[in-house]
A and B are shown apart, each in its own frame.
Chain A
Amino acid sequence: MRLSRAAAIVLRQFYLLRGSPSRVFPLFVWVAIDIVLWGFITRYLGTITHQPGMDLLPALLGAVLLWDFLTRVMQGVTMAFFEDVWSRNFLNVFATPMTITEYVTGLVLSSIATSSVGLVVMLVVAGAVFGLSMLVYGAMLVPFLLVLFLFGIALGIIGTAVVLRLGPSAEWFIWPIPALLSPFVGVFYPLSTLPSWMQAIARLLPPSYVFEGMRTIVSGGSVSWTTVLMGGGLAVLYIVLAALFFNRVFRLAVRTGLIARYSAESVS
């Protein structure tokens, strides 16, 4: 693998971001608004509920921050890919010596850069305006972020593969994926609230382990490393499955001529 080819994908994103406020603002504006909105909701709920041993700020606002981070990671991958869709650049990109591994690595590196911006802005706003310190999660903060990052990458790769398979108009299947998953992973409530069939699905989703662990820490308990490893192991498994899925879809696209066809078609 040549890293310079993956770096070309990142450079392209940098060029696009540098010259386009409409691409830069979404990196931090929506997440900042989310944090402000949920910060005030949390503050209000804090005045009307008094549950001993439960701090709403890290439980609710922290959950929003972590969930937005996962969403931004996923969108970091898909947005970098959609730039090629929107500019009908498939043929130019895939008729080069660049391998699929190099291409996907470039998308992931782009996502690391863009999602980091969102994360920093969220941490600053949540800390400065509402006094939330993520250090309340202790040593588990890093594995929590890592699990969410890995799962966000997996979702992003799956999303790009779906668009590669179904065509440019399928991007509208991709945007709602985080919203579809959020009820299952218990972002705002314990998994025990869910009916048993939803709990069964939740156990297959890495973020469930993060949000359950987060609530355990906030209520004074401790999270076992087994729980974190379960989440991390599942996230790695999803990355592997996503990579295999993308590779399979790409091979199908080469066999059936989808890549050439998408370049010739308008985005519709």
Chain B
Amino acid sequence: MAESSSNPPVLSVRELCKSYANTVAVDGISFEVGRNEIVGLLGPNGAGKTTTINMVLGVLEPTSGTIHIQGVDLSKRRSQALEYTNFAAVYAPLPGNLTVVQNLRYFGMIYGVQRISERIEALLQEFDLVRFRDTKCGVLSSGEQTRVALAKAMLNRPQLLLLDEPTASLDPSTARDIRARIRDFTANGTGGVLWTSHNMYEVEEVCDRVLFMSRGKVLLQGDPRKLPHEHGKATLEELFITVAREPLALEHP
């Protein structure tokens, strides 16, 4: 049930901070992810992207600020808010000692998926996993494991899909296939995606909007196809390198 409005953005982050003893990992960032929108969260290593995603996933408590998923306050109604989400991350593989179907059933039960067997069969078809249904995930190739992780991420038809470098370690052909599926997800449903990647070509191709983070702050945001020119750069990659090396130049133009 939405708290703030009848049709809230799928993700609303306000003044989000996370600090440790001597480090500010995320420094007062605010952004939204709308329906049918793919938002890229970009930045150099240590910029605060994964910290932000972990806070949205509810496994890291913010020092201050709020996170609303589908209008539900994550800090107050964690379980309900997380029913609207799912995620896939390269550093969170599914248990390798369970088969594809076993993993999907296990997580399907946790996410409260209705008619779970039908849903699993549909996802096996959609992600071309039928021949691996009884194969243990640990013996699948990187690309196959990514497809399983994405199938798991789609189990509950999430309104907010969080993808942390989903195409890292994939060959170009598989990565293109994965990108197409994610675009289908936003085009054919009502959900939105928060996507991190270091592949600027991929970001330009997939994302409707990007947020550039550096040192815990959002320095820039906009259309990835226009943003480089707005800041005097030829490509998104050049802009990325400037953000990584000279963030102050962009912070105080």
A interface residues with partner B (beta carbon < 8 Å): 2, 4-5, 7-8, 11-12, 15-16, 19-20, 83, 87-99, 251, 254-257, 259-260, 263-264
Chain B, residues 160-200, CB within 8 Å of chain A (1/0): the string is 00000000000000000000000000000000000000000
Query: Which chain B positions have C-beta within 8 A of A20?
Result: 97
> Which residue of A has the minimal Cβ distance to B89?
A91
Chain A neighbourhood of B20, CB < 8 A: 256
Are A254 and B59 neighbours in the complex by a CB distance under 8 Å? Answer: yes
Contact B59 A259 (CB under 8 A): yes
- Using CB atoms and an 8 Å cutoff, list the residues of chain B in contact with chain A: 20, 50-51, 54, 57-61, 78-80, 82-83, 85, 87, 89, 91-99, 102, 105-107, 109-112, 152
Query: Can you pick out 10 interface pairs between chain A and chain B where the beta carbons lie within 8 Å of each other?
Result: A83-B95, A87-B96, A87-B97, A92-B95, A92-B152, A95-B58, A96-B107, A97-B79, A263-B92, A264-B91
Contact between B97 and A16 (Cβ–Cβ < 8 Å)?
yes
Task: Report the minimal beta-carbon distance from A36 to chain B, rounded to whole angstroms.
Answer: 31
Partner of B57, one of A7, A19, A95, A98: A95
Contacts A12-B106, A15-B102, A91-B89; A260 near B111 (Cβ below 8 A)? no
B97 touches A97 (CB 8 A): no
Instruction: Specify which of A16, A93, A96, A263 is in contact with B98 (CB 8 Å cutoff).
Output: A16
Nearest B residue to A90 via CB reads B59
Of A90, A92, A94, A255, the residue contacting B107 (CB under 8 A) is A92
Distance in Å: Cβ of A267 to nearest Cβ of chain B: 12
Q: Is the CB of B112 within 8 A of A4?
A: yes
Question: A260 and B54 in contact (CB under 8 A), knowing A4-B109, A97-B83?
Answer: yes
**B95 vs chain A, min Cβ distance (A):** 4
Majority secondary structure, A binding face: helix
CA distance A97 to B57 in the complex (A): 10
The CA-CA distance from A51 to B80 in the complex, in Å, is 64
Of B79, B93, B94, B98, the residue contacting A98 (CB under 8 A) is B79
Q: Closest A residue to B138 by CB, please name it.
A: A87
Q: Is the Cβ of A91 less than 8 Å from the Cβ of B106?
A: no
Least Cβ distance of B159 to chain A in Å?
13
Q: Which residues of B contact A96 (CB under 8 A)?
A: 82, 107, 110-111
Cβ contact within 8 Å between B106 and A15: yes
With contacts A95-B58, A98-B79 taken as known, whether A89 is within 8 angstroms of B109 at the C-beta atoms is no
Q: With both chains docked as a complex, state the minimum distance between the C-beta of A94 and any C-beta of chain B, in angstroms.
A: 5
B-side contacts of A257, CB under 8 Å: 51, 54, 59-60
Which of B51, B93, B97, B109 is within 8 Å of A7, CB to CB?
A: B109
Given contacts A97-B79, A257-B54, contact A8 B59 (CB under 8 A): no
Q: Which residues from B are CB-within-8-Å of A12? A: 95, 98, 102, 106
Residues of chain A contacted by B95 (CB below 8 angstroms) = 12, 83, 87, 89, 92
Q: Which residue of chain B has the shortest Cβ distance to A264 in the bound complex?
A: B91
Chain A CB count within 10 A is highest, among B59, B85, B111, B112, for B59
Closest partner residue, chain B, to A99 (CB atom): B79
The answer to whether A91 and B92 touch (CB under 8 A), given A5-B112, A97-B80, A254-B60, is yes
Report chain A residues within 8 Å CB of B92. Answer: 88, 91-92, 263
